[in-house]
Chains A and B, each alone.
Chain A
């Protein structure tokens, strides 16, 4: 390729990749000597920088160093043969033999002198520097490392890199070095250089691996530029550095048109990617020495060139050997090569890929049959990655023989036969790189290269690396500027979319052609009349009609309304006020007395009063005449209910209880309702006695156990609880505060206490249980009966009993709880509320005594005892009320005993019933006495007698407490007494200070009860009548009933109506007295039982339900429901009754007054008479002793006088005539008692009042 003036001084560019120093060496001529190593150093600095990194080998002629690169095909050169200036001077121009083929690119080399002392050439044009005449890098493929590489690969794939230049830019096999990318990657690295001196004969094995060059031929097929790329494998790093040199052909005259740059130093560029084809590249230019024939069209023409090239290659190969040795070898090879080239030229039918620089590669088609035979089936035996298949030569020959022309190797028969080695390499060309699916590698060397890709350059010296470093710096200095260049539009398939978007006429256009006869043009128009109907289509009527298309009713309408509330902005400024405490004190204005006087006397006021006076008077009169707002209707309804509907039965039977075991042949002595639990009623049984002997029962010894039975409404058969006591209980009471404590008085005079607190739950549960059971068990009472009968009611023993010694001597006939207001002497008022516990009992007995008992407050005692028994508690000794009360057992003594006896006559009363005012007993106890009392008053310390005395000292009745009380005796007397303790009196017995005795009842009092509405109204029942007393009225009862036929045996006030009380009689009837209606006879009368009523006890269960328990002598307890009229109080009943009582009291007083007046009158008349009598007898008897006769006589005279007086009065009144008056003699009879008369009067008065 290079042509010098003298053949001997053929110069080749050599690249030394191994030497660290720049060395310029020339070969081809013995005179050439390797460039001195000093050349590089002798170069000017600028030059050096350009050259030393690439170890550019320059050419050096023997006479000079000028080498000219020229090409005949290079148009500018052709026109004006390029002869470098300096070479021209020296006469050692290197010229290259041109290729006849157009498009061939020659390499021109600017050879410049590197001799020391030579004047440095003109500054090399820098690519981008000043004075650069080269084209921009991009146009010549000066791309960044990667793109350049890919560009090169592209070119290789296309089969050449020089195609771009139009028709002239034909591929130049020698200049272009395509290499299969894939293969090069896959090939193992081989040592780039064999050991020195062992240069193989035919192949450029030792050639610098990294040499690549590509040529850009310019746009018009004119190769302006020449790019030479040097690839410098870096052994150590396994990377590649490469360098290019670029020349512009136009400026080849320039001393140094090239410039080196280093790219891609780094690991990313594998060595194998570029190295394997290096020798190929160098041998392309008609390397006749290879095993494969060179391109036939080049063999002759380019002989010298190839020789040169080959020799150059050889020298490259044996870089370490001496130049001479190299030279000789190259000569030998030259001849061999020439021969081979000729051979290939004759035989080859251009089957190889020599056209693209791979003469050793023969693409062939493997049919599936062949693939099977040689075990190289696609995608099974051979794949894209594992694409090599070694086939033995003998096998192929065998195949050729057996299949002959059918064999796929047939076209390459010769190649195969000539192949030196034993095995041929067949490569699967998956990408059809060479046109067929397989290709045959026909040279041993290529085969080795393919199978073992050369390794990276391992033998690089450190210096090179340093140089590279420098080069890199330099690279950085010149940033690749790429000015934007407009490019032709390349269609990427968007035309379709553009086409779619564009509007086109699809419908065929309508064409109208209007023509007119020629002769009618310009002719005159004549109009004539025609009937429109005659001619068809002459007249068209367009009547309106409804288009059905639009007749659809709109059923739905999409409408939207947006409601936007009106927004108004307003602002108000308010003052902040803060609350603060203020107060205003004011007093009403008043007029002074003078002002009052003034205004009172003013005329204005007078006028006002006169004007107002009339109307005001009218209003007052109206009110006076009648109540204008009186509700007549309401009053009418009231009248109806009270008078109109007279119920026949005012008491309805609700329940009836009896017990065959305990109440057989016994009477019920006392009935009590449980104060809190609904429907629990207790009765006590007693021996049935004739009424007459009821008073003295104490002598009777009763063997039968007596009990108190507790019944429930919900179980009419079995009692819920049985309180046990050996003796008969005559009376008992629930403690109103703590209903679990029941106090009873027995027949033998003892007071008994029961505690049912353990059974309280049962009583309540019974209620609940039966409540639940009643609903389903209405129809099956037997079941419930059975159930209840199975459970034996528990027996409760008494928990305390009073000491016999100090108890009553006779039957306890009445027992009452006193609401104890336990007041301390120091803090009197403070403890009042606390002491709302009934702690005291009062009992009375016919033994003429009233006893006050002190029941220890269970809770109080517990508090006190709890401190004491803390030790006991550890022993789990339960201490409850009964335990406390047990302490009282048989040692319980009364607190106070009152003997009811007349002070003068010492006759004793036998009280049966007692009624205390307020039922209250307050006392003040001294500190030392209190624990004694509360803890149960041990007997030893305080014997009874002492209590009596000490009580006078220690117990002081409160001043405001009335100690008066009523006692009903067994003689039928009502005794009103005051038991106030006289402190002065030292006698042990408590004597009533003052007592009044009334004998109204003829038989023992059985009821003495205060009205629940009026504190001072007392009902007493006994014998055949009853009486109502008012406390404080000493004249007698305010109401006394007339004697009835039967005995009244029981009585009770109604709990809801003040004017109603019930009287039980011994004939089993119940009288209901309603004082509002009648006072002379019961308003209702109802028969309850056959035997005598023994006890009456009403109970208010609720506002609507009022019960009346009535017990009889047969031991049956009747529970009656009181009807509404008897239970509901009418309006103002309380006031009316009170009014009535007061009237009675007034009347009683009036009667008393009258009686007294009468008595006074009588006394006066008597006095007169006596005086008269005395006067008559004055002389006869000086000292008269009135004898009995005289007395009688006087009485008679008095009576006569009274009768006369009466006669006078009656005659004066005109009631009787004088004749009807009985004579005084007839009427001479003892005075009848006053009471009946007064009663009659009373009755008359009442009946008159009620209409």
Chain B
């Protein structure tokens, strides 16, 4: 996807956007494969350093990164 608005720097945003879009697609297809009636609504990725929260939609993607420890 093409980032519309970001608070990060451009390159990081592009990287995150590209990777997370793929991941979201995959996750969505996984959910849909398991149950065609179902759909992905939210994606939270907990990592060592921070948490990535993805809110998917048909056309847009909202990605938020948060360090919950701070």
Residues B2 and A608 in contact, CB atoms below 8 Å apart? no
A608 and B60 contact, CB distance less than 8 A: yes
Residue ranges of A at the interface with B (Cβ–Cβ < 8 Å): 588-591, 596, 599-600, 604-605, 608-609, 611-612, 615-616, 619-620, 623-624, 627, 629
Interface residues of B in 27-70 (CB under 8 A from A): 41-42, 44, 46, 51, 53, 55, 57, 59-60, 62, 64, 66, 68-69
Nearest neighbor of A616 in chain B, beta-carbon distance: B55
> Which residues on A sit within 8 Å (CB–CB) of B64?
616, 619-620
In angstroms, Cα B46 to Cα A608, docked, is 24
A620 to B70, CA, bound (A): 12
6 tightest Cβ-Cβ pairs between the two chains A and B: A612-B55, A623-B68, A588-B14, A608-B60, A608-B57, A615-B42
- Chain A residues lying within 8 Å of B44, measured Cβ to Cβ, are 619
Which of B2, B53, B59 is in CB contact (< 8 Å) with A620?
A: B53
Contact between chains at B51 and A623 (CB < 8 Å): yes
Listed residue (A588, A599, A605, A629) with the most chain B CB atoms within 10 angstroms of its CB: A588
Instruction: State in angstroms the CA–CA spacing of A1149 and B46 once bound together.
Output: 39
Majority secondary structure, A binding face: helix
Contact of B69 among A605, A612, A619, A627 (CB under 8 A): A627
Q: List 25 A-B contacts (CB under 8 A).
A: A588-B14, A589-B2, A591-B2, A591-B3, A591-B4, A596-B4, A600-B5, A605-B4, A605-B60, A608-B60, A609-B62, A612-B62, A615-B42, A616-B42, A616-B53, A616-B55, A616-B62, A619-B53, A619-B64, A620-B53, A620-B64, A620-B66, A623-B68, A624-B68, A627-B69
- Nearest-CB residue, chain B, relative to A624: B68
Chain B residues near A609: list those with CB within 8 A: 62
Q: Which A-chain residue is minimally distant from B1 (CB atoms)? A: A589
Hey, which chain A residues are within 8 Å of B18, CB to CB?
Answer: 588
Contacts A588-B18, A616-B55: A596 and B5 contacting too (C-beta < 8 A)? yes
Q: How far is the CA of A591 from the CA of B5 in the complex (A)?
A: 10
The CA-CA distance from A623 to B69 in the complex, in Å, is: 8
Q: Which residues of B contact A624 (CB under 8 A)?
A: 68
Q: Give Cα A589–Cα B17 distance, bound, in whole angstroms.
A: 11
Complex CA gap A541/B69 in Å reads 103
Q: A608-B62, A623-B68 are in contact. Are A599 and B4 (CB under 8 A)?
A: yes
| Known contacts A619-B53, A623-B68, A627-B68; is-contact A608 B59 (Cβ 8 Å) | yes
Contacts known (A604-B59, A608-B60, A623-B68); A588 close to B2, Cβ less than 8 A = yes
In the bound complex, how far is the Cα of B42 from the Cα of A591, in angstroms?
Answer: 26
The answer on a CB contact under 8 Å between B66 and A590 is: no
Q: How far is the CA of A59 from the CA of B46 in the complex (A)?
A: 147
Nearest-neighbour CB distance to chain B for A56, whole angstroms, equals: 127
Q: Tell me which of B4, B41, B42, B55 contacts A600 (CB under 8 A).
A: B4
CB-defined contacts of B10 to chain A, threshold 8 Å: 590
**B1-20 vs A: 1/0 string, CB under 8 Å?**
01111000010001000100
Residues in A whose Cβ lies below 8 Å from that of B57: 608, 611-612
Instruction: With CB as the reference atom, state the residue of chain B lying closest to A590.
Output: B2
Given the complex of chains A and B, what is the CA–CA distance between A605 and B60 in angstroms?
7
Are the CB atoms of B41 and A615 closer together than 8 Å? yes
Which chain B residues lie closer than 8 Å to A588 at the CB level? 2, 14, 18
CB B36 to nearest CB in A, in angstroms, measures 21
Report B's interface with A, CB cutoff 8 A.
2-5, 10, 14, 18, 41-42, 44, 46, 51, 53, 55, 57, 59-60, 62, 64, 66, 68-69
The docked-state distance in angstroms from the alpha carbon of A615 to that of B5 is 20
Return A584 CB to nearest CB of chain B, in Å: 15
From B59, B64, B68, name the one whose CB has the most chain A CB atoms within 10 angstroms. Answer: B68
Given contacts A616-B42, A629-B46, 9 further A-B contacts (CB under 8 A): A590-B10, A591-B4, A596-B4, A608-B62, A612-B60, A612-B62, A615-B41, A619-B53, A619-B64
Nearest-CB distance from A632 to chain B (Å)? 15
Q: How far, in whole Å, are A1022 and B66 apart by their CA atoms in the complex? A: 48
In the bound complex, residues from chain A placing their C-beta under 8 Å from that of B69 are: 627
User: Which residues on the B side are within 8 Å of A627 (C-beta)?
Assistant: 68-69
Residues of chain A within 8 A of B42, CB atoms compared: 615-616, 619
Tell me, rounded to whole Å, the shortest Cβ–Cβ distance linking A628 to chain B.
8
Per the bound structure, the CA–CA distance linking A608 and B54 in Å amounts to: 13
* Cα–Cα, bound, A600→B42 (Å): 22
Contact partners of B51 in chain A: CB under 8 A: 623
Specify which chain A residues have a CB less than 8 angstroms from the CB of B2 in the assembled complex.
588-591
CA distance A623 to B3 in the complex (A): 25
Residues of B within 8 A of A616 (CB): 42, 53, 55, 62, 64
Compute how far the CA of A588 lies from the CA of B59 in the bound complex, rounded to whole angstroms: 18
Q: Which of A599, A600, A608, A627 has the most CB of B within 10 A?
A: A608
| B contact residues around A604 at 8 Å (CB) | 59-60
Q: How far is the CB of B42 from chain A (nearest CB, A)?
A: 5
Which chain A residues lie closer than 8 Å to B68 at the CB level?
623-624, 627
**How far is A609 from B2 in the complex, measured between Cα atoms in Å?**
17
Closest to B57 in A: A608
B68 shortest CB reach to chain A, Å: 4
Give the docked Cα–Cα distance between A609 and B55 (Å): 9
Residue numbers in B under 8 Å from A619 (CB-CB): 42, 44, 53, 64
Would you give the shortest CB distance from B25 to chain A, in whole angstroms? 17
Which among B3, B41, B42, B55 has the greatest number of chain A C-beta atoms within 10 A?
Answer: B55
Docked pose: A620 CA to B51 CA in angstroms: 10
How far is A616 from B10 in the complex, measured between Cα atoms in Å? 23
Residues of chain B contacted by A620 (CB below 8 angstroms): 53, 64, 66
Q: Compute how far the CA of A609 lies from the CA of B61 in the bound complex, rounded to whole angstroms.
A: 9
Determine the chain B residues whose CB is within 8 A of the CB of A615 once the complex forms.
41-42, 55
How far does the alpha carbon of A658 sit from the alpha carbon of B3 in the complex, in Å?
Answer: 74
Please measure, in the bound complex, the distance between the C-alpha atom of A588 and the C-alpha atom of B12, giving whole angstroms. Answer: 11
Cα(A629)–Cα(B67), bound, Å: 12
Interchain nearest-CB distance for B51 vs A (Å): 6
Report how far A609 CA is from B64 CA in the complex, Å: 13
- Whole-angstrom CA separation of A629 from B53 in the bound complex: 15
Residues of chain A with a CB closer than 8 A to B53's CB: 616, 619-620
- Nearest to A615 among chain B residues (CB) is B42
Interchain nearest-CB distance for A46 vs B (Å): 122
In the bound complex, residues from chain B placing their C-beta under 8 Å from that of A612 are 55, 57, 60, 62
Q: How far is the CA of A923 from the CA of B56 in the complex (A)?
A: 61
Report Cα–Cα, A351/B12, bound state, in Å: 145
Q: How far is the CA of A534 from the CA of B62 in the complex (A)?
A: 114
A667 to B51, CA, bound (A): 60
In the assembled complex, how far is the CB of residue B49 from the closest CB belonging to chain A, in whole angstroms?
A: 13
Q: Point out the residues of chain A lying under 8 angstroms from B66, CB to CB.
A: 620, 623
- Docked Cα-Cα span, A629 to B5, in Å, equals 30
Minimum Cβ distance to chain B for residue A404 (Å): 141
Q: How many Å from the CB of B63 to the closest CB on chain A?
A: 10
In the complex, A612 Cα to B68 Cα: how many Å?
A: 20
Q: Which residues of B contact A589 (CB under 8 A)?
A: 2
With the chains together, A591 CA to B53 CA distance in Å? 23
**How many Å lie between the Cα of A589 and that of B64 in the bound state?**
21
Which residue of chain A has its CB nearest to the CB of B66? A623
User: Min CB distance, A622 to chain B, in Å?
Assistant: 9
A605 to chain B, nearest CB (A): 6
Among A596, A600, A623, A627, which residue has the most Cβ atoms of chain B within 10 A? A623
Which residues from A are CB-within-8-Å of B3?
590-591
Nearest-Cβ distance from residue B28 to partner chain A, whole angstroms: 14
Q: From residue A684, how far is it (CB to closest CB) to chain B in Å?
A: 49
Instruction: State how many angstroms separate the Cβ of A613 from the closest Cβ of chain B.
Output: 8
The docked-state distance in angstroms from the alpha carbon of A627 to that of B51 is: 11
Least CB separation from B69: chain A residue:
A627
User: Taking CB as reference atom, which chain B residue is nearest A604?
Assistant: B59
Measured between alpha carbons, how far is A627 from B68 in the docked complex, in Å?
A: 7
A904 to chain B, nearest CB (A): 50
Q: In the complex, what's the smallest C-beta–C-beta distance from A602 to chain B, in angstroms? A: 9
| Nearest CB of A to B14, in Å | 4
A608 to B59, CA, bound (A): 8
CA distance A615 to B54 in the complex (A): 10
B58's nearest neighbour on chain A, judged by CB, is A608
Q: How far is the CB of B62 from chain A (nearest CB, A)?
A: 5
Cα distance A611–B53 in the bound complex, in angstroms: 15
